[in-house]
Structure 1
Amino acid sequence: MQPGDRPWLRKYPLQVLPSYEYPKINVARMLIDSARNYPDNEAVDFLGRSITYKELLRQCRKMADALRALPIARGDRVAIMLPNCPQGVIAYYGALMAGAVVVQTNPTYTERELRYQLTDSGATVLIVLDLLMPRVLKAKENNTVLKTVIVTSLSDALPFPKNALYPLKRRREYPGLRVEIRSSEGIFRWSSWLRKGKATDTCEEVDADADVAMIQYTGGTTGHPKGVMLTHANLVANTIQTTAWFYRLEIGKERYLAALPLFHVFGLTVLMNQAVYRAGSLLLVPRFEPKLVLDTVRRRKPTLFPGAPTMYIALLNDSSAREGDLDSIRFCISGAAPLPRDVQEKFEKKSGGRLIEGYGLTEAAPVTHCNPIWGYRKNGTIGIPLPDTDARIVGEDSVEQLPVGQIGELAVRGPQVMKGYWNRPEETAGVLQDGWLRTGDLGTMDDEGYFSIIDRKKDIILAGGFNVYPREIEEVLFEHPAVKEASVLGVPDPYRGETVKAYVVVKEGWQVSEMQLDRWCRDRLASYKVPKQYEFRSSLPLSLIGKVLRRKLREEQNSEEEVNLNIT
């Protein structure tokens, strides 16, 4: 096979073209178009409250107008720290209509993590859930850039009588929580804030290839998370690419089960943007809980369910699941972590739909590969590149293609590949080479163009679909007065794919328990980053220059797993 050949095109279904046109528009134009063509279609369902496209567009326009009045100008950053709820959808498209750059922020972030992201992005506005305000107020201290905080509650989006009962539930679960709205300090309540805006028919014109639509934070082993700059063109292209792959979708008729968080780029593209682009109904679930998801499934009968392997595992094992619950689901795309074949087969048998595995990364908005849904799929692979996407396996020193079957680093290029890292030109140059994005994942390609991921080149831990960065956790452990040395690895976990294990050396004369370290980390890290296993050691393997050799730890861990496997 010669460089430039695309053997995977021979495996494309007849209904999928190798190339498409991608309009150079503001991402919010997709909502405007759907609202014009399908005004009375349901756009969002949230625990029984339904919002039409006409009403969603009106709310987004009011949000955009209220932001402009601050003023928010083209290119200013607006951070959104919300679970899956209508306010998150309104804030996202409203900010884009105003020409702002969206910064999606994980609601589980601690004060420390939030402060870093707000400072690094330079966000001047934060839209946040009331339950998170104690963290926000602490993170806001000494931040001279963040000027405006808009506070909302889940009750703002709930139907009657749930909206009336929710404050009672909140007081019961969070007895010490009081949210003080002080407009003099730039803190406003959602409902009164939105009333300030007018539903004007205005959407900021953008240079789609150059203008950044969102900064999505990801990371690595070199330090703090990096802000990935995704342009309007990147997000529109990946929405159209994934929609083309799901070619049996019927415009205006599909129901998307949104259990994936929309602040994660996977959920943002294959759920929110795709549902809006196809005038589908977005069935929002504020957090993934099997009972809540199953209640939504029974009530609304979703047809699509993009998710992570942990979600499918949880639903398969939930004792409350009944025969026929999942029958409405026609297909699912699994991403964010490897999909076990056993899970795939069991879920397909239970639902009658198709569950296929794909691949992506934040730097590609995110999807680059997918197995054909109704065509020839290869279990254990990530499938083949999407339309207009090139992929190859490359070596360390160049982006020249390696021979078929040889292990190397996966590199991709296409219209969905990021502009670069926010304020990090050197790191951008390290991964974007001659138009190719080096993914950091090691893999192979077979003679039919199907790709397999062998291992991650970097030490990122993929726990339940979220990237976990060892150095960040190690820094928190090092801050504990009893810890002398610490190193963190990802170890196999049947539910989360990987989980975090910490190797700790305690200072002489000190004592510390696993429970104490767990409490220490939970106060400083999001829950999915907190180590689930600890191993106390007298020393760690070090290189000649004193660097911890994670490779040695990993080899020892693998040996332990093999011994345990042989014993059982």
Structure 2
Amino acid sequence: MTEKRWLHFYPNDVVSNVTIEKKTLSDLLAESVKRFDSEISLEFYDKQWTYREVYEISERLAGCLYQQGFRKGDRLSIMMQNGPAYVFSFFGVVRLGGIVVQTNPMYVEREILYQLNDTGAEYMICSDTVYERVKRVQDETSLRKIIVVQTEEDTNIHLANEDKYLDDFLQTYQTKAPKININPIEDIAVLQYTGGTTGVSKGVMLTHQNFINQVEIVNEFLFKRFEAQQDLNRVAISFLPLFHIFGLANVCLTGFRFGYKQIILPRFEPETVLNIIKNDPPLFFFGVPTMYNALLNAPHVETYGINKIKAFFCGGSPMPFEKYLQFKKLMGKDAVLSDGYGLSEATSGTTNQPYSRVKVGSVGVPLPNTTAKIVVETDKGFEEAPIGSKGELVIKGPQVMKGYWNKPEETNVVLRDGWLHTGDIAYMDEEGYLYIVDRKKDMIIASGYNIYPREIEEVIYQIPAIKEVIVIGIPDEYRGETVKAYIALKENKIVTEDEIISFCGQYLAAYKVPKHIEFRDELPKSSVGKLLKRELRDQELKKLQARK
């Protein structure tokens, strides 16, 4: 096993092996009330809720659900955009030992049907904007109780007799829910569904303790240094979707641990975010590369006070090197932009940059209580790769999932001897810093050569006119696969296909240079803003099938 060489570069105040108490997510909320009580926890447009009010509303909701027959182990789907109701619903469900099913509000009926049937959920709390989609599939599911949240985009829907708006549902409260015996280590709190990029989407089983471990580890490594400082504006902007593990674990739940005010936005809009930064500068900023890129491209971005933010965290995918350098110019002298790495199967975070020593291009080092290594598959099984060699990144830590819901075979493929096989190609340098090369499944094999799309994307991003780029492999009769780049240009910028290919030829071996370039106004993105290779790959396969 690789020595934990990265520990030499931990900040002096960070403990590498944190003692974490066994507790539930309801304990997390209760402790935050004891510590922060009447301080503002959530802000949504012109309304605010204190920590105590969040607790009281969640308790009331738990009581109402219990009256309706909701019991420990039952599944409740939350399907809505960011808003305070999401937080109330989440804490209300886990208070009863129930399981939150994270449902993307952009799902179409086929996807809703699959997820509800996969989980057997009998309860749902959803926004009015998705209600009619849910009703169209309800008869084909186990769903028997729907509670609807009215949004600022009120659609004037008419509820079926058995359904209720959330405000009306809370009025049915009669008595407090009883104390529920929850085993934090064994009992599931959340089913977090994977993107379904390989086969069907799978429900990641995350326990109460998985989330507690994640929150405590992240707090130790990234936030603890701010706790004693009194003159800080303890604010974070919560626009990363709460139905996504990054938004739920590292923004929302960490907020209750640290005690900052979460300014909740239903979606990421650059102008709105910049105005909040200008008027109420956050202490922390969480985003994915496309969001940082959007801010970079906003008019007069340097006038909004980004330099007042103390710490920036980037997840979802590594920040392109050129974009990192550009954004760094907007930041304050002592601020840190920290790339990290995580996945749903590990309750989000597993690595991050030490604030004391950032290495650009790396996703940092394993977090406290967490171990990582690079492995390659041989005739003898998986063996550790030499330092600097590429292989699959595997992770071991207390934030790693219990397994996939009702999928023991798939669970056994990714969880082996206590190690989570991530499916990501990476390497570790002499100091223990990790570098993500690409997804294992995204690797292009052309004429026997292994080609990593991210390397090509990093080169193309150096061209000033480029806004966004996705590189994939497409079928090629002669080479097996060949390289294609999809490109979105910045507004009023022009660059030709030949210029891009010529530029790549200066920095890449000939077999890596894109053979095809396609310009698009926008590139496809996931709900969290992550660029979607799989959608473009599916489009290419459909075109190929149509030609046959």
TM-score range (shorter-chain normalised) is 0.7 to 0.9
The answer to whether the 8 A contact 2:302-2:330 is kept is: no
1:17 and 2:10 matched: no
- Structure 1 residue aligned with 2:256, among 264, 272, 276? 276
Residue number in structure 1 paired with 2:387: 404
SS for the counterpart of 1:409 is strand
Alpha-carbon distance in 2 for matches of 1:70, 1:439: 40
Residues 171-210 of structure 1 mapped to structure 2, 5 A cutoff: 177-184=155-162, 187-197=163-173, 200=176, 204-210=180-186
Given the two structures, how large is their TM-score scaled by the length of structure 2? 0.80
Residues 343-422 of structure 1 mapped to structure 2, 5 A cutoff: 343-352=323-332, 353-373=335-355, 375-397=356-378, 398-422=381-405
Residue number in structure 2 paired with 1:306: 286
Which amino acid counterpart does residue 325 of structure 2 have in structure 1? E
Alpha-carbon distance in 1 for matches of 2:198, 2:428: 28
Superposition deviation, residue 311 in structure 1: 0.7
**Taking structure 1 as reference, are residues 203 and 34 closer, same or farther at Cα in structure 2, changes over 3 Å only?**
farther
Alpha-carbon distance in 2 for matches of 1:387, 1:408: 23
Residue number in structure 1 paired with 2:67: 69
Given the two structures, how large is their TM-score scaled by the length of structure 1? 0.77
The answer to whether the 8 A contact 1:40-1:53 is kept is: yes
The answer to whether the 8 A contact 2:250-2:348 is kept is: no
Superposition deviation, residue 410 in structure 1: 0.5
The answer to whether the 8 A contact 1:26-1:204 is kept is: no
**1:202-233 CA distance string (max 9 Å, x none):** 55331111111100000455421000001111
Alpha-carbon distance in 2 for matches of 1:406, 1:265: 30
1:149 and 2:125 matched: no
Unaligned runs of 5+ in 2: 444-452, 458-469, 473-480, 491-517
**Taking structure 1 as reference, are residues 418 and 67 closer, same or farther at Cα in structure 2, changes over 3 Å only?**
same
Residues 41-440 of structure 1 mapped to structure 2, 5 A cutoff: 41-143=39-141, 145-155=142-152, 170=154, 177-184=155-162, 187-197=163-173, 200=176, 204-246=180-222, 247-250=224-227, 254-319=234-299, 321=301, 323-352=303-332, 353-373=335-355, 375-397=356-378, 398-440=381-423
Superposition deviation, residue 248 in structure 1: 2.1
Superposition deviation, residue 37 in structure 1: 2.1
Superposition deviation, residue 532 in structure 1: 9.8
**1:424-470 CA distance string (max 9 Å, x none):** 0000000100000000011111111111111211249999xxxx9x9
Alpha-carbon distance in 1 for matches of 2:543, 2:211: 49
**Taking structure 1 as reference, are residues 119 and 201 closer, same or farther at Cα in structure 2, changes over 3 Å only?**
closer
Alpha-carbon distance in 2 for matches of 1:293, 1:407: 38
The percent identity for this pair of structures is: 35
**Taking structure 1 as reference, are residues 226 and 489 closer, same or farther at Cα in structure 2, changes over 3 Å only?**
farther
**1:409-429 CA distance string (max 9 Å, x none):** 100000000000000000000
Superposition deviation, residue 379 in structure 1: 1.0
SS for the counterpart of 1:78 is strand
Superposition deviation, residue 182 in structure 1: 2.5
Which amino acid counterpart does residue 251 of structure 2 have in structure 1? L
Superposition deviation, residue 48 in structure 1: 2.3
Residue number in structure 2 paired with 1:444: 427
Unaligned runs of 5+ in 1: 156-165, 171-176, 471-486, 497-513, 543-547, 549-568
Alpha-carbon distance in 1 for matches of 2:6, 2:107: 40
The answer to whether the 8 A contact 2:352-2:363 is kept is: yes
Alpha-carbon distance in 2 for matches of 1:406, 1:210: 37
Q: How many pairs are equivalent?
A: 471
The answer to whether the 8 A contact 1:221-1:459 is kept is: no
**Taking structure 1 as reference, are residues 24 and 199 closer, same or farther at Cα in structure 2, changes over 3 Å only?**
farther
Superposition deviation, residue 241 in structure 1: 0.7
Alpha-carbon distance in 2 for matches of 1:86, 1:45: 8
Superposition deviation, residue 18 in structure 1: 0.6
**1:92-133 CA distance string (max 9 Å, x none):** 111111111111111111111111111111111111110111
Superposition deviation, residue 320 in structure 1: 5.6
Residue number in structure 2 paired with 1:505: none
